[in-house]
């Protein structure tokens, strides 16, 4: 008999992450929830456990903005598990005002791209031991808000705009997923990204600036988290996409992104920059 598939998901205590975790638990996945706010996450874990087929729902603290926290969470996962079948990079952030991570990197880019980049790389050995392992990165059509992709300004933008920083980080998600697909081709691990749709959650509403007001006004027209989570659940569990890799999905179908997102040059340059900014080789030795 096959052991239950093990799925790790970031940002699972609300919105589409929570819905995806609930549905995958019902499908018989063991779950590892990586969450920044444990007070919010504990009742959610209980909720997921109540519907889980296997009853195995683990909770590990992780702040994706902090590389130290990401490395610590990865160590805990490696200590507790001997394989990983699905990794869902779902956790994300939108902020109006410019802020910086503990490493001095613009917070949106640090949280939405560098955190998942580091986490995924540190967990690669477990994914290689998984059964037809899949990496799923939640991007967004907001990547189109990024008017000109300046790699040298991702960590420290010359001028800050919440929407610009968010759009750039989502473009990074698509580029990362594609480059990862290339690098993992020989290991039978797939990597895809997706646009969940404009989802009705608390996301983007807490900044207090004009952009938050726009989110609030538009929210009634957004889709439900249940609808928004469908593509994530599909990519994590459907046999149809078992061998599909390097694509960008919307509504459970591949969507062709723009030239910026399809650029191998951008993808490779971003990978090199991300390795440098996360000191990836140092962490790999430490873990």
Active site residues: 166
5 and 29 Cβ atoms separated by less than 8 Å: yes
3-class DSSP assignment, residue 100: strand
CA distance 171 to 6: 28
84 and 8 Cβ atoms separated by less than 8 Å: yes
- List Cα–Cα distances, 174 to 184, 197, 281, in angstroms: 15, 15, 23
CA distance 66 to 105: 10
CA dihedral for 114, 118, 121, 125, sign (positive or negative): negative
What are the strands, taking DSSP E only, across the chain?
Answer: 6-10, 30-35, 57-61, 86-89, 134-138, 190-195, 248-250, 253-254
Q: What is residue 114's DSSP assignment?
A: I
CA distance 94 to 67: 19
282 and 163 Cβ atoms separated by less than 8 Å: no
Token output for 165: 């920083």
């Amino acid at each position: 008999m096959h052991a239950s598939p093990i799925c790790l998901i970031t940002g699972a205590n609300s919105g589409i992450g929570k819905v995806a975790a609930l549905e995958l638990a019902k499908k018989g996945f063991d779950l590892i929830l990586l969450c920044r706010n444990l007070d919010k996450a504990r009742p959610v874990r209980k909720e997921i456990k109540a519907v889980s087929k296997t009853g195995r729902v683990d909770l590990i603290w992780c702040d994706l903005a902090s590389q130290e926290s990401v490395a610590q969470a990865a160590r805990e996962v490696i200590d507790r598990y001997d394989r990983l079948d699905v990794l869902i990079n779902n956790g994300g952030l939108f902020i109006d005002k410019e802020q910086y991570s503990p490493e001095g990197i613009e917070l949106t880019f640090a949280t939405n791209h560098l955190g998942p980049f580091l986490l995924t790389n540190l967990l690669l050995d477990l994914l290689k031991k998984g059964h037809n392992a899949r990496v799923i990165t939640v991007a967004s059509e907001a990547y189109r808000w990024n008017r000109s992709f300046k790699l040298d300004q991702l960590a420290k933008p010359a001028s800050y705009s919440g929407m610009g920083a968010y759009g750039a980080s989502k473009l990074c998600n698509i580029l990362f997923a594609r480059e990862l697909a290339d690098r993992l081709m020989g290991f039978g691990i797939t990597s895809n990204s997706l646009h969940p749709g404009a989802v009705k959650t608390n996301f983007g509403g807490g900044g207090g600036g004009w952009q938050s007001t726009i989110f609030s006004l538009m929210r009634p027209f957004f889709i439900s988290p249940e609808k928004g989570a469908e593509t994530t659940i599909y990519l994590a569990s459907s046999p149809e996409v078992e061998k599909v890799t390097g694509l960008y999905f919307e509504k459970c179908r591949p969507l062709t992104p723009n030239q910026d997102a399809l650029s191998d040059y951008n993808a490779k340059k971003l990978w090199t920059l991300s390795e440098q900014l996360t000191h990836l080789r140092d962490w790999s030795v430490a873990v």
